[in-house]
Amino acid sequence: MTAPQVRESAAGLFRVDDGLGVWPHRGRVAAVGIGHSPTARRWDGAAETSIGAWTILAVRRAVADAGVDPAAVDVLVLDRHTTGGGSPWPEGAEIPREVAERFRPTDDPLDGVARLSPQWLLANLPELSGVKLVVVTTMCMSMALTAAIETVGRGHGTTAIAVKAWHNFPGRYGVRGANADPTVSGPAKHGVRGAGIAGANSFMNAMEFRRYLFKYGKSREMMAPFVVNSRANGLLMPEGYWAQHDPRPLTAADYLGSRMIADPSSLLDNDLPVHAAAAYLVTTAERAVDLRQPPAYVLGHAGSGVARGDRYDGLPYRSVVETLEESEAWAAATARRVYESAAVRADDLAFENCYDGFSFLHPFWLEAFGYAGVRHGEALDFYQGDIGLKGPHPVSPSGGNIGGGRTRFWGHTDSIQQIQQRAGARQIGRPATIGLSGGFMPYWSNFVIWSRDPDGP
């Protein structure tokens, strides 16, 4: 096997500027295969449950689900990082011998344990002998998946695997290193992006939501139907954490009684950090029609951020934290680009799977995309109606991060399965012809429009 070309940046693959028009590869790329590992709360230290092992499992399941010869995969897209920073490898801790001996190593002893290099992954997936191009992306599955879609669309490969993994080691997530100290020093105390923030992970967005409630005259209690619905849908996602480990529905009383983390953000407004991996197989529309699963065609994709040269970063805040008005403007700009790329409108959507890592981010996205005609300040009123799977406007049929755990990929899985009509108990009542999935934050995101028909509506 000839060593593949490794591109250490996917910056040029994202559509984050205005005025780009309809995506030139509209309807010519499709997602077919889906692969998931189990989902655990934390790693138990065993070789077979290490994040490397579960990433291998997810890739193999995606390839098998699509019915593709593994040697036909010619593009691999991945993020080297398997944590957002909240679960670093404990300083001075040794790698368990079983893990070190189980896999083909690289020079980095933490490869396959606390991060993933393409060299490690391909060495331990020898059946992917046809990979000619590796694209290294950043942050989350929305970036990896759209990079894979764009790579296939441009003809740099015909069959791509997009994979994203998240590890979670024992201990309190986010309370490691300097974050475990009783005081905060340095620039982090001012909340400067990249240096941390003085408070819980949800602190900044909780401030935005407090502003939202004041600006639009709403109450936190109005979020209860969304959180309850998300858990209900997530319990129908067999790959999710709650479905696997604690399959109890939530009630509005559970939500309203949960302890505060950063007022008005409670425990149940925060997604649960988990240990899991997922992969998707993306290919050309021509190849997709002959594979094991029906194609979920891509009509377009777009997002937000700053892509310049080899760098792809989030949009800069005006001050030290993001404001509600900035989030609303950035989300609205993203929605315009996404609709333009796919040549669809809000009323074409049969369902949406917008990001909800903190529950109150979902209203920002729902309003920006104008789903079901919802405008700024109206999402919480909309949640008081029928937002269930069999209703006229299904909301987050995947259950999202709130319903499945902090992975940022449940929405993509559900959207593909809805289009393919194999979402099982989560299959929405209305025809799942056009759908939307993506995330994460308004300052840095990517979204995809999926279709059952390559020509769209």
Over residues 368-407, the pLDDT tens digits come to 999 999 999 999 999 999 999 999 999 999 999 999 999 9
Residue 397 lies in a domain: no
189 pLDDT above the threshold of 90: no
Instruction: Work out the average pLDDT over 409-419.
Output: 98
Kindly give the pairing relationship between strand 276-284 and strand 159-166.
antiparallel
192 has a pLDDT exceeding 50? no
Residue 223: inside a domain: no
CATH of the domain at 23: 3.40.47
Rounded to whole angstroms, the Cα distance separating 37 from 28 reads: 29
Mean pLDDT over residues 206-230, rounded?
A: 97
What pLDDT, on a 0 to 100 scale, did the predictor assign at position 85? 75
Pairing relationship of beta strands 29-36 and 351-354 according to DSSP bridges: unpaired
pLDDT tier, 187 (very low <50, low <70, confident <90, very high otherwise): low
Q: Are 132 and 74 in contact (CB under 8 A)?
A: yes
In a domain? residue 238: no
* Contact between residue 69 and residue 303 where contact means Cβ atoms under 8 Å apart: no
28 within some domain: yes
Residue numbers of the domain that contains 104: 5-172+274-283
pLDDT at 147: 98
Q: Over range 307-328, report the average pLDDT.
A: 92
| pLDDT value, residue 194 | 43
Q: Do residues 400 and 34 lie in contact, with contact meaning Cβ atoms separated by under 8 Å?
A: no
What type of residue sits at position 202?
Answer: S
In a domain? residue 302: no
Does the structure show a pLDDT above 60 at 197? no
Amino acid at 307: A
Q: What is the pLDDT of residue 91?
A: 85
pTM, whole model, 2 decimals?
0.96
Q: Is residue 73 part of a domain?
A: yes
Residue 382 lies in a domain: no
Residue-wise pLDDT for 14-53, tens only, equals 999 999 999 999 999 999 999 999 999 999 999 999 999 9
Q: Is residue 24 part of a domain?
A: yes
Share of the chain above pLDDT 70, in %: 95
User: Considering its fold, how many domains does the chain have in total?
Assistant: 1
pLDDT digits (tens, 9 = 90+) for 60-117: 999 999 999 999 999 999 999 999 878 889 888 999 999 989 999 999 999 999 999 9
Contacts of 97 (CB under 8 A, 6+ apart): none
- Spatial separation of the C-alpha atoms in residues 276 and 39, rounded to whole Å: 5
DSSP 268: G
Instruction: List pLDDT tens digits, range 433-456.
Output: 999 999 999 999 999 999 999 999
